[in-house]
Amino acid sequence: MTILVTGSAGFIGANFVLDWLANHEEAVISLDKLTYAGNLENLKGLDGDSRHTFVKGDIGDSELLTELLETYQPRAVVNFAAESHVDRSIHGPEDFIQTNIVGAFRMLEAARAYHARLSAQAAAAFRFLHVSTDEVYGSLSPTEPAFTEQHQYEPNSPYSASKAASDHLVRAYHHTYGLPVLTTNCSNNYGPYHFPEKLIPLVIHNALAGKPLPIYGDGQQVRDWLYVKDHCSAIRRVLEDGIVGETYNIGGWNEKANIDVVHTLCDILDHEQPRVDGLSYRQQITFGKDRPGHDRRYAIDATKLERELGWKPAETFESGIRKTVRWYLDNQGWVNNITSGAYRDWVSRQYQ
Ligand code: NAD
Ligand code: TYD
């Protein structure tokens, strides 16, 4: 038995493949285009593991998809591949449309053709699991209840709009063609291998490098944080027993204002690796221009996943964030390999 995982060299995809092979004997075919966000170093732990096959390629390449499906006959596809950074989608939405919408469409088409050729037994067991985000639901006021699966889609950024489009296509392929799909909508993740353009790894990196810790606007925007390994365990659970055609919200019940997250990171670093001058890393916090169309609050109601599939996160924010800071302190080489070249150009454009 085999599964095909796309976007496997990125943050969540890599964590998923590593955790999958730590928990199963079942082989994984990894497909990743290796964009700026894809990093084979994330999968280094699997070197020499015969259960893992990496293929460099684009989810928009129909021929390649057909070949991979026919050759490896996976019993499931898990689609992580995407452009994932909101700020980049504001500067240049084109890649988001190509990968997140057209790429997802090509994957659905290839999966539909493959599914149609499977034996009745294999077709009944096949699953196409699409990994999506809570950002498709739009923004909440401070007092509104958290997003349930019934919340209407109101995406506000080119990133979230492109993910919403792909979610709709996935739904349509189930209703129209009977493709056995599952969709998960997860809140903000954090943990090992998180690319340092996103808030938590950026703040850890900048703090240690003596650089400003940039807060957009007033820093009171709220995100609902989930440790990445909890996201991976939820996806495994949905893949195992999720009901075909259903969507499942995944979240950590950890709503935090951005400024509080940054304060927490500074306090942990003050303890783990104090500044040489003895002052707090909080000194480096700088408030700047807000993100255009910045969603004020996301919050996920993950009751359905707990009630129907018995999933709960293993980490609290307090335990997960400590593990994360420790991982970055222990893996400075990984960060240094990224924070060069093209990444530096992005930082100077975004934070000039
Ligand atoms: P990431 O940007 O770290 O990784 C994306 C990966 O996809 C990279 O390895 C990249 O090389 C690859 N990729 C991009 N375009 C591709 C293409 N055309 N063909 C093949 N591979 C391609 O993203 P992430 O944070 O790991 O997110 C993974 C998925 O989870 C995305 O679909 C994202 O929308 C979703 N998600 C992310 C979060 C979060 O907090 N990061 C939360 C909920 C959902
Ligand atoms: P981010 O990690 O980019 O995730 P998302 O936009 O998908 O939620 O940002 C998390 C929050 O942190 C978001 O409200 C924007 C904010 N933010 C900053 O204040 N400063 C920064 O430098 C970055 C990258 C994000």
The pLDDT, as a whole number, for residue 349 is 85
Domain presence at residue 344:
no
pLDDT at 241 over 90: yes
Q: At 161, which CATH number? A: 3.40.50.720
| Residue 270 annotated to the active site | no
Domain hosting residue 69, numbered range: 2-195+227-254+297-316
Which of the four pLDDT bands, split at 50, 70 and 90, describes residue 341?
Answer: confident
pTM above 0.85, yes or no: yes
Nearest CA to ligand 1 atom 28: 80
Domain presence at residue 340:
no
The pLDDT, as a whole number, for residue 346 is 78
- Check residues 220 and 338 and name the one with the higher pLDDT: 220
Domain presence at residue 201:
no
Domain presence at residue 139:
yes
Cα(195) to centroid(ligand 1), Å: 10
| Residue 67 annotated to the active site | no
Domain presence at residue 302:
yes
Which of the four pLDDT bands, split at 50, 70 and 90, describes residue 347?
Answer: confident
Q: How many domains in the chain?
A: 1
- Best mutation site among 11, 223, 348 for ligand 2 pocket (most ligand atoms within 8 Å of CB): 223
Share of the chain above pLDDT 90, in %: 95
| Residue 134 annotated to the active site | yes
Q: Which residues line ligand 1 (CB under 6 A)?
A: 6-7, 9-13, 32-35, 37-38, 58-60, 80-84, 99, 103, 131, 133, 163, 186, 188-189, 195
List, for residues 139-181, the tens digit of each pLDDT value: 999 999 999 999 999 999 999 999 999 999 999 999 999 999 9
Q: 3-class secondary structure for the chain? A: CEEEEECCCCHHHHHHHHHHHHHCCCEEEEEECCCCCCCHHHHHHHCCCCCEEEEECCCCCHHHHHHHHHHHCCCEEEECCCCCCHHHHHHCCHHHHHHHHHHHHHHHHHHHHHHHHCCHHHHHHCEEEEEEEHHHHCCCCCCCCCECCCCCCCCCCHHHHHHHHHHHHHHHHHHHHCCCEEEEEECCEECCCCCCCCHHHHHHHHHHCCCCEEEECCCCCEEECEEHHHHHHHHHHHHHHCCCCCEEEECCCCEEEHHHHHHHHHHHHHHHCCCCCCCCHHHHEEEECCCCCCCCECCECCHHHHHHHCCCCCCCHHHHHHHHHHHHHHCHHHHHHHCCHHHHHHHHHHHC
Ligand nearest to the CA of 285: 2
Domain presence at residue 279:
no
Cα(146) to centroid(ligand 1), Å: 24
Domain presence at residue 288:
no
Domain presence at residue 280:
no
